[in-house]
Structure 1
Amino acid sequence: MIRKTTPEQAEKVNAAVDGRILHLKYIFYIYPIKSLKMRYLLTAGMLIICMFTNLEVMSQQTDNDVLTIIHQRKSVRQYQDISVPEDKIETMLRAAMAAPTARNIQPWQFYVITSREILDQLAGELPYAKMLSQAPLAIVVAGDTPKGNPNEEQIHNWKLDCAAATQNLLLAAEALGLGAVWTGVYPYKARIAAVSEALDLPSHIIPLNIIPIGYPLLDDRPKDKWDAEKVKWVE
């Protein structure tokens, strides 16, 4: 994904590079160098340093961007009537599949729904997914239960892995300028049946949730969920 440099990023880079250039001028002033060749070499060296300074500042900004995306993520339930490009859909799915998974079993399956008929059908059958009637796209995150349950002790791993994949998907949607919301399907039997029937899922594939996705219609704001009372320090 190609992202435009923000004014804040540009300001940081320019300040760092200006500092290196000022340092170069100081060297030339304090230590006069008569050799033109040596001046060229020093100038080239400083340009290389400036280049790496640029990369270093941008790398730090990227780290900050990750935290910003995490804190900016919110549930978006109203969407514009604009389709989502396939490359953005693939980016979200790749992020989802980068989630942690017990023993690397990867017991997830993803169903990308763009059918207006199916979206409207599920909007009428799922009590907390009415926004599907407005969304141009939805992704069902489902668990392949035989693959996710290699033995009795690990019977719930598919739920954990698919939940982690869902969070990655939601963060990727936020990073791409999209709005999304997690609407639960599992463990409600009626909802599982509705999604399974609409998508003709085999019995061993269980839908965990369905994620309506689209370009936000409103300027939704994230909620500050920080609560220090929920943190216990064990020392």
Structure 2
Amino acid sequence: MADLEEIIKTRRSIREYSNQKVEDEKVEKILKAGMQAPGSRLGAEPWEFIVVKNKDTLKAIGETCPRVTNSQVAIVLIANIERAFYKKHWQQDMSAAAENMLLEACNLNLGGLWNGVAPTDEKMEKIRELFNLNENIKPFCIISLGYPADGLENKFMDKYDETRIHYEKY
């Protein structure tokens, strides 16, 4: 396992993937990382996941989130509102799960991209229809995954900007 600081610094949004298949074991590790995220309350984490490998389904998702089409696998993050502790803060719990998953993908030498769905009603409705989700299930985002295409990689890019830091007051 790589150093956490190194993973955080090198994770990048990878939008193009090779044709190499992503191993099921790696997908499972990414799902486990998502479920380890902090939630609003222990036992009330709203996340559920739909793993998609079928090229026709990836293409259908691509009509809403175009970057998903060329991935080897996509994970649709959905919130089961019935399990959420704070019914209006489910997106915070989902964000923590998504970031954990992207960091684990980087750790596994995969490329990943956070494709936003919520809070855009039109995108949420299209994903809801595609997967026949009821009203208690809220589509949040789609993480596309794959081995980075030639010339692409997770690599360090210094984004630190001390002018954005404020102490005690703005």
Alignment TM-score > 0.5, same fold:
yes
Match 1:172 to one of 104, 108, 120: 104
Is 1:215 aligned to 2:141, yes or no?
no
Equivalent residue, structure 2, for 1:36:
none
Following superposition, the deviation at residue 107 of structure 1 comes to: 0.8
Larger mean Cα displacement after TM superposition, 176-185 or 196-205? 196-205
Equivalent residue, structure 1, for 2:60:
121
Match 1:108 to one of 23, 26, 47: 47
Summarize deviations over 1:30-62 as a string: whole Å, max 9, x none.
xxxxxxxxxxxxxxxxxxxxxxxxxxxxxxxx6
Is 1:66 aligned to 2:4, yes or no?
yes
Which residue identity lines up with residue 152 of structure 2 in the other structure?
D
Cα pair 2:46 2:94 within 8 Å, conserved? yes
Give distance in 1, aligned partners of 2:67 and 2:156: 19
> Which 5+ residue runs of structure 1 have no aligned equivalent?
4-61
Following superposition, the deviation at residue 146 of structure 1 comes to: 2.1
Is 1:96 aligned to 2:96, yes or no?
no
Q: Higher Cα Rg: structure 1 or 2?
A: 1
Give distance in 2, aligned partners of 1:207 and 1:187: 9
Q: Between Structure 1 and Structure 2, which shows a larger proportion of strand residues?
A: 2
Summarize deviations over 1:55-110 as a string: whole Å, max 9, x none.
xxxxxxx6xx1100000000000000111111100100111111101111111111
Give distance in 2, aligned partners of 1:111 and 1:139: 6
Match 1:202 to one of 127, 130, 134: 134
Q: Which protein has greater RCO, CA pairs closer than 8 Å, 6+ apart?
A: 2
Cα pair 2:67 2:115 within 8 Å, conserved? no
Which residue identity lines up with residue 163 of structure 2 in the other structure?
E
Q: Between Structure 1 and Structure 2, which shows a larger proportion of helix residues?
A: 1
Moved over 6 A (4+): none
Cα pair 2:10 2:156 within 8 Å, conserved? yes
Following superposition, the deviation at residue 112 of structure 1 comes to: 0.5
Summarize deviations over 1:165-189 as a string: whole Å, max 9, x none.
0000000000000000101101111
> Which 5+ residue runs of structure 2 have no aligned equivalent?
none
Which residue identity lines up with residue 233 of structure 1 in the other structure?
Y
SS for the counterpart of 2:37 is coil
Let me know the Cα RMSD of the aligned residues: 1.6
Count of equivalent residues: 166
Distance 1:193 1:222, change over 3 A: farther
Equivalent residue, structure 2, for 1:80:
18
Equivalent residue, structure 1, for 2:68:
132
Equivalent residue, structure 2, for 1:188:
120
